[in-house]
Amino acid sequence: MSFIKQESSKTVNNIPLQNNKKEYPTGYSASETMVQLCAVPKPTSTQLYDHNEHTEQKELCTKLAQSEPCLFESKNTILKTIAKENQYKQRQQFTSRSSVESLCQVLEDNALVLKASFIRPGFSASNTCLMCTPSQLREALESEPDNYNLKKLRINLESDSNLNPENGTMYLSLLQQPSGNHVVYSLDYHVAEKHDNRLFCK
């Protein structure tokens, strides 16, 4: 059972997608890292924690992941370094046609958020996880699209420096469809090379 409505359009607005061949855009190289989106319960304080509600949320998150594998499975990345910043780009864009508008509604109705993860290889490596709320998604939906009809949401930790965030920055791109609704297009990650290097451990 799908919890979020799908767009009927099968196009990706003529934006070139990366194929399975080892052909990368100029300046990019292969990376062993991955990015992933998943729905999780909205963080709450111990005083407000409700076990039954949390159990229901957990079950719903599992069903969402099962019904939308094209959106919630991990995706490989490619890498380029510019001015001592590592820029990881999702190699193959999301193919799920479920609308962001209906996803926002599901998240809001069930006190859920999206967890955006950057996954480093190695037993002792550290993943980076940032939170994306439904209100952030709705704000991005109202923003102006770029020349490719993409609307980009910047995700940081509130405690991080805006100029040099130690945990890096994630960019969630939303693609506007001819219907006016949107689909999730890609999740990219930028982080200073010195911060990134210390989180790898194979």
**Using the 8-state DSSP alphabet, how is residue 27 labeled?**
T
Decide if 141 is inside a domain.
yes
For range 150-167, the mean pLDDT:
86
Q: Residue 162: give the domain boundaries.
A: 29-197
Decide if 10 is inside a domain.
no
Decide if 95 is inside a domain.
yes
Decide if 175 is inside a domain.
yes
The token pair that represents 139 in the structure block: 């704000």
What pLDDT does residue 148 have?
86
Nearest alpha carbon to residue 78 among 96, 66, 70, 90: 90
3-class secondary structure, 194: helix
DSSP assignment string, 131-181: EE-HHHHHHHHTSPP-TTSEEEEEE--TTS-SSS-TT-EEEEEEEE-TTS-
Total structural domains in the chain?
Answer: 1
For range 125-131, the mean pLDDT:
94
Between these two residues, 64 and 47, which has the higher pLDDT value? 64
Decide if 65 is inside a domain.
yes
Between these two residues, 172 and 124, which has the higher pLDDT value? 172
What pLDDT does residue 201 have?
74
Decide if 63 is inside a domain.
yes
Q: What is the pLDDT of residues 26-49, one digit of tens each?
A: 999 999 999 999 999 998 878 778
- Whether pLDDT at 191 is above 50: yes
For range 42-69, the mean pLDDT:
90
Decide if 17 is inside a domain.
no
Decide if 23 is inside a domain.
no
